[in-house]
Amino acid sequence: MNSQRLMALLVAIIISAPLLLPDGQGIGLVNAILIWSIFVIGFDLVFGVAGMLSFGHAAFFGVGAYTLSLLTMRMGWEFIPSLGAAGVVGGALALVFSYFAIRVSGLFFALLTLALSQLIYIMAGTKLRMLTGGVDGIAGVPRPDLFGIDFYDDGNYYFFLLALFILALLISGLIRISPLGQALKAIKSNEVRAEQIGFNVQRLRRSVFTISGVFAGVSGGLLASLIFYVGPQMLHWTTSGDVVIMVLLGGMGTLFGPILGVAIFEFMREWLSTQTSHWYGILGLIFIICTIGMPKGIAGLITQLWDRIMPGGKS
Amino acid sequence: MNSTAEAKHVLRCEDIEVSYGAFKAVTNVTYKFKPGLLYGLIGPNGAGKTTLMNALSGRARISKGRVFLNDQEITKQSPHARTWAGLGRSFQITQIFAEMTVFENLRLAAQAHRFRLQPFWRPVGKFKEIANDAEKVLSEIGLESFGHVNAGSLSHGDQRALEIGLALLSEPKVLLLDEPLAGVGHDVGEKAVELIRRVSQGRTVLLIEHNMDVVMEISDEIIVMLAGEILASGNAETIKQDPRVRTAYLGEDE
């Protein structure tokens, strides 16, 4: 056992909580964790692996949510093809963003993605009101209708989300250890050298940005169906900010760390918001303390503790 | 016809100029590099040696003139496209993937060379061919016992050797080496010179180096730069005798 496996075990315990706890307690929370995890698993490919800080992912997430809602509610599409379309549209928008933003890096990249996603947010709330329902959003987003199972029951929907979560985890895990993932790590480590040994840096960045857009689009569609609603708030840049916090809190660049970040973030959101209306400020404070105290997030802390308990037992 | 022209000159610069605002870092550089020769590029600090190398490898924008690699124009190509076309380089300031192992560094260079589109459907360890390429170069540069060491913790001399190894994996026809011996101790230096000799077999090498004894000893031809221009070129004896070089570079008065 190593710290990686310990984190995997922690994740497994968290996501199987509804099965372990009596009466399926915490099912709503875990469903939200599964959906946001799909988002951060994709986001960390861009942020943690390739080293690009994007504040534009809310756009792909929100556009995915609208796509699923519109296709199922107005066009009469089935849920699964609509979810696929949510991913495709999220990825396509990410590809479009990348043509503008990939030219620059670092802070400029973060700001450009932020500006582009805010543009989508404003458009959804105003110009595209006919389509998006404006600031009111669209209520009544459906859930899947498969094999005669009632997915409007949260306990059943849990298994649907769990399957997609595991699929997302496998895909992301494979990308990380594939030549593509290694090339992205190389770009993060030393862009000049990566380019000089023959990597097409721009194209690689564009591809991972698009892939993470697909993850965001799918998770956006899933969240809309979980809460039966989509509104422009999902497109707001604070959604991107939340995801950055989740990944940093959990440990960027690790497969399981960001999921632990999601779990803590969502737990805080759920629990703190019942205690005080200033929950977001308190969450921010906790985040600041965490980044100072454990810059590598929970993943870093676990690895550190593990090395202390099991000195020398690296593998 | 074409093949003879190719055999004659592997790399060709036609009146190239690199300018930063009004300052011309490199100007009027026209030169034809023959295949299989080792060229020493010398000149005082600020003469434009590294800028010329940057212009050739695509890291500096050429404001005027053209560059050809094997008769194919590469003037406007990006660095990675030039690498694919057969041009490898090492840097004055070591550029390696410091937090990865030596083997992983080399494997990255191998996959960059082998795959135009990076596969994402299988773990990198399953691609035996790139591991083999990396292992081969690992022993070629004499680091076979350091494969699992983090590249950042290698000695400076070994990092310089790794740089050359990374460039070798793209199977370059032309290899640009920017001060590979800088900061390398004497003992290691001899090993490094041996490595440079070895990698120059069958390919064109352009070497920037400040150690005159080394340059004079291993270069087939020497190019002297001053104030962005080529001042003189020729074999070691010609250069040593050239009064302009003695005045300008070696600082000797007549």
CATH number at residue B61: 3.40.50.300
Q: How confident is the model at residue B150 (pLDDT cuts 50, 70, 90)?
A: very high
pLDDT at residue A315 in the model: 42
Please write the tens of the pLDDT for every residue from A41-72: 999 999 999 999 999 999 999 999 999 999 99
CATH of the domain at A148: 1.10.3470
Chain B residues with CB under 8 Å of A182 CB are 104, 107-108, 111, 118, 124
Best probe of the A interface among B101, B118, B177, by most A CBs < 10 A, is: B118
Interface contact B108-A196, CB threshold 8 A: no
B98 touches chain A (CB under 8 A): yes
B91 touches chain A (CB under 8 A): yes
Question: Residue B191's CB: how many other CB atoms inside 10 A?
Answer: 15
Q: Provide the percentage of residues in chain B whose pLDDT is more than 70.
A: 95
B8 touches chain A (CB under 8 A): no
Min Cα distance A198 → chain B (Å) is: 4
Of B83, B95, B120, the CB nearest to A180: B120
Beta-ladder partners of B23: B20
Chain B residues with CB under 8 Å of A193 CB are 91, 95-97, 166
pLDDT at residue B4 in the model: 47
Distance CA A223, CA B55 (A): 51
Interface contact B108-A178, CB threshold 8 A: no
Is the residue at A315 inside a domain?
Answer: no
pLDDT at residue B5 in the model: 46
Nearest to A10 by CA among A315, A314, A305: A305
Alpha helices, H only, B169-242:
186-199, 212-218, 236-241
Is the residue at B59 inside a domain?
Answer: yes
* Mean of pLDDT values over A143-161: 84
Of B78, B112, B121, the CB nearest to A178: B121
Min Cα distance A182 → chain B (Å) is: 7
pLDDT at residue A87 in the model: 95
Is the residue at B254 inside a domain?
Answer: no
* Mean of pLDDT values over B20-42: 91
Q: Report how far Cα B173 is from the mean position of its chain's Cα atoms.
A: 11
Which burial class, exposed, middle or buried, applies to B228 when counting CB atoms under 10 A from its CB (0-12, 13-18, 19+)?
buried
Give chain B's end-to-end CA distance (angstroms, integer). Answer: 47
Distance CA B35, CA B32 (A): 10
* Mean of pLDDT values over A247-264: 88
SS3 A139: strand
Residue burial A129-168, b: 16+ Cβ < 10 Å; e: rest: eeebbbeebbeebbbbeeeeeebeebeebbebbbebbeeb
Q: Please say if the pLDDT value at position A91 is more than 70.
A: yes
Please write the tens of the pLDDT for every residue from A175-197: 999 999 999 999 999 999 999 99
Q: Please say if the pLDDT value at position B226 is more than 70.
A: yes
Q: Please say if the pLDDT value at position B142 is more than 50.
A: yes
Is the residue at B253 inside a domain?
Answer: no
| Residue of chain B with shortest Cα separation from A181 | B120
Domain housing B12: 2-248
Contacting residues for A277 by C-beta, under 8 A, at least 6 apart? none
pLDDT at residue A168 in the model: 95
Best probe of the A interface among B80, B89, B94, B175, by most A CBs < 10 A, is: B80
pLDDT at residue B1 in the model: 41
* Mean of pLDDT values over B7-16: 86
Is the residue at A314 inside a domain?
Answer: no
- Average pLDDT over chain A reads 88
- Average pLDDT over chain B reads 88
Interface contact A204-B130, CB threshold 8 A: no
* Mean of pLDDT values over B221-226: 92
Q: Total domain count for chain B?
A: 1
Q: Please say if the pLDDT value at position B7 is more than 70.
A: no
Q: Please say if the pLDDT value at position A293 is more than 60.
A: yes
Q: Please say if the pLDDT value at position A24 is more than 80.
A: no
pLDDT at residue A195 in the model: 93
Maximum C-alpha span of chain A: 62
Distance CA A217, CA A59 (A): 9
Interface contact A178-B80, CB threshold 8 A: no
* Mean of pLDDT values over B78-87: 93
Contacting residues for A275 by C-beta, under 8 A, at least 6 apart? none
Q: How many CA atoms lie within 13 A of B164 on its CB side?
A: 29
Q: Provide the pairing of β-strand B174-178 with B204-208.
A: parallel
User: Can you state the percent helix, strand and coil of chain A, rounding each to 5?
Assistant: 75, 5, 20
Chain B residues with CB under 8 Å of A196 CB are 57, 79-80, 83, 88-89, 91, 95, 166-167
What ipTM was estimated for this complex?
Answer: 0.87
* Mean of pLDDT values over B207-223: 90
B101 touches chain A (CB under 8 A): no
Is the residue at B79 inside a domain?
Answer: yes
Domain housing A287: 3-309
Q: How confident is the model at residue B253 (pLDDT cuts 50, 70, 90)?
A: very low
Question: Residue B22's CB: how many other CB atoms inside 10 A?
Answer: 5
Q: How far is CA A108 from CA A54, A97, A115, A186, A252, in A?
A: 10, 13, 10, 21, 20
Is the residue at B162 inside a domain?
Answer: yes
Q: Provide the pairing of β-strand B38-42 with B23-33.
A: unpaired
Give chain A's end-to-end CA distance (angstroms, integer). Answer: 7
Q: What is the pTM of this model?
A: 0.89
Is the residue at B164 inside a domain?
Answer: yes
Chain A residues with CB under 8 Å of B130 CB are 179
Q: How confident is the model at residue B6 (pLDDT cuts 50, 70, 90)?
A: very low
